[in-house]
Amino acid sequence: MPANLIDGNKLANQILEKVKKEAAGLKQKPCLAVIMGGENPASQLYVQKKQQACKQVGIESKLFSFPESVAEQELIEKIQELNDDSAVSGVLVQLPLPKHINRNNVLQTISPAKDVDGFTAENLGKLALGIEEMVSCTASGIIKLIESTGTKLEGKNCCIVNHSIVVGRPLMQLLLNRNATVSICHEFTKNLSEFTKKADVLISAVGIAGLIKKEMVKVGAIVIDAGIARNGKKVVGDVDFDAVKEVASFITPVPGGVGPMTVACLLENTVKAARTT
Ligand code: GUN
């Protein structure tokens, strides 16, 4: 029997409705500040989507775009200014940054209370301690997608193909917090399918179209595709969707799966930050 589709758009809209009500109930309108360095077309599109969603739910957004040649210190000073601005609830630095910039120096300048991406050492450290306050939007979106199937993660074999701070590392912690058994794979992993085949829940976020083939997936697995790649003009994920849906129990589409959940969780974090700043 073909897999059930997990509808990321539907779940994201439910979250956005809730966020809209919460935002309307706050004394001060929440505000998300977004910093971009360089002109990466994919980043421009993601940021546009984040700003459109802010408008939809009554959150103000401010975009600070810097050229590819921007100095690290200039980004750091802008973040310090936004940290001190009581009208700003959340600060997000869109990744990737230009190659000459030390990403950690920039991200670790964000005030943990305004760190709506959950990338600061304080928020990543809390997550490792089991305290889920400000958590990566893609990682928490993925957990919500899995939990929407009614599956309990405790004791499940989960395989993540990605070890970045955006997805793999925070997702690993979220899964461990729910007592799942986790393996993390990445571009240096040998025999990827040895790991993926054991997974009750398989999450891939690499950006290589067709990386996850039917033979690599356990029958009945939940498959979450957080990859974004292009196949001609079409946006596709990492998973060979048409073949894998024949063996999986649940599967996310691309587009319409993880993407809208990332945006919805970002706005959830922004309202959470607005309550405390
Ligand atoms: N680039 C790709 N995904 C993300 C994300 O979730 N947050 C930020 N800041 N940059 C990204």
> For 85, how many CA atoms within 13 A lie in the half-sphere containing its CB?
17
Site to probe by mutation for ligand 1, drawn from 36, 43, 46 as the one with most ligand atoms within 8 Å of Cβ, is 46
Per residue in 25-51, pLDDT (tens digit) is 999 999 999 999 999 999 999 999 999
Sequence-separated (6 or more) residues with CB below 8 Å from residue 90: 30, 31, 32, 33, 114, 115, 116, 269, 270, 273, 274
**Which residue segment(s) compose the domain that 46 sits in?**
28-112
Closest ligand 1 atom to the C-alpha of 266?
6
Mean pLDDT of the chain: 97
Residue 268 lies in a domain: no
CATH label of the domain that carries residue 33 = 3.40.50.10860
For residue 179, the model assigns a pLDDT of 98
Q: Is 269 in the pocket of ligand 1 (CB under 6 A)?
A: no
- The answer to whether the beta carbons of residues 257 and 10 sit under 8 Å apart is no
When divided into structural domains, the chain yields a total of: 2
What's the rounded mean pLDDT across residues 89-106? Answer: 98
Residue 94 annotated among the catalytic residues of the structure? yes
Q: Please check whether residues 161 and 196 belong to one and the same domain.
A: yes
Short-list 145, 205, 208, 134, CA closest to 173: 134
The CA 94 to ligand 1 mean position distance, Å, reads 5
For residue 39, the model assigns a pLDDT of 94
Q: Please check whether residues 150 and 232 belong to one and the same domain.
A: yes
